[in-house]
Amino acid sequence: MTKTRIAPLAILILSVAVVGAALLSQYWGGLRPCELCLYERWPYYAVAVLTAIALAAGQRYLSRAALALAALLFAIGAVLAFYHAGVEWHWFAGPTACTGGALDTSSVEALRAQLLATPPVRCDEVQWSLFGISLAGWNFVASVLLAAIAYFAAMRLGRTR
């Protein structure tokens, strides 16, 4: 395996592992994702597609571009995860679609419509944690680490010929 393909393969495997763990916790572990949890998965999906394309192409410039873009996507994922963790710790106000918000009690119809439109999983409640860190917090850690790995791998590919 060439140096051009090792880094994209590693990032692809790590991305699939993180999303796989999230999907396992959802479908096998019974944890239902909130709206923010679902948004936090999108960078991993995008990176998996990008790195798979770079891996298949085997071109150094394409691998470097995919890794640089992966670093940016993981950084965006880290911001989303930080925001979600902040919503869980009540540092930030979360989106009203998943934190309950104020109920419209102006009429029974308005209240009913709002209750039916409200998702059942709240973004500001921690469903599971390890060492006091929620899944959003662990996703922040993973996203920061993966952003750093992808960035340094892209820079290394730029230096090697």
Residue 100 has pLDDT above 90, yes or no: no
Residue ranges per domain, the chain?
A: 3-159
* pLDDT (tens digit per residue) in 113-154: 766 665 567 777 778 777 987 888 999 999 999 999 999 999
Instruction: Say whether pTM exceeds 0.85.
Output: no
- Collapsing DSSP to helix, strand or coil, 129 comes out as strand
Judge whether 4 and 157 are in contact, CB under 8 Å.
Answer: yes
**Domain 3-159's class?**
mainly alpha
Most distant CA pair in the chain: distance in Å? 69
DSSP letter string, 25-54: HHHTS-PPP-HHHHHHHHHHHHHHHHHHHH
List, for residues 47-57, the tens digit of each pLDDT value. 999 999 999 88
The answer to whether residue 8 scores a pLDDT higher than 60 is yes
CA 116 – CA 149 distance, rounded (Å): 43
Q: Token pair 């770079």 is at which residue?
A: 54
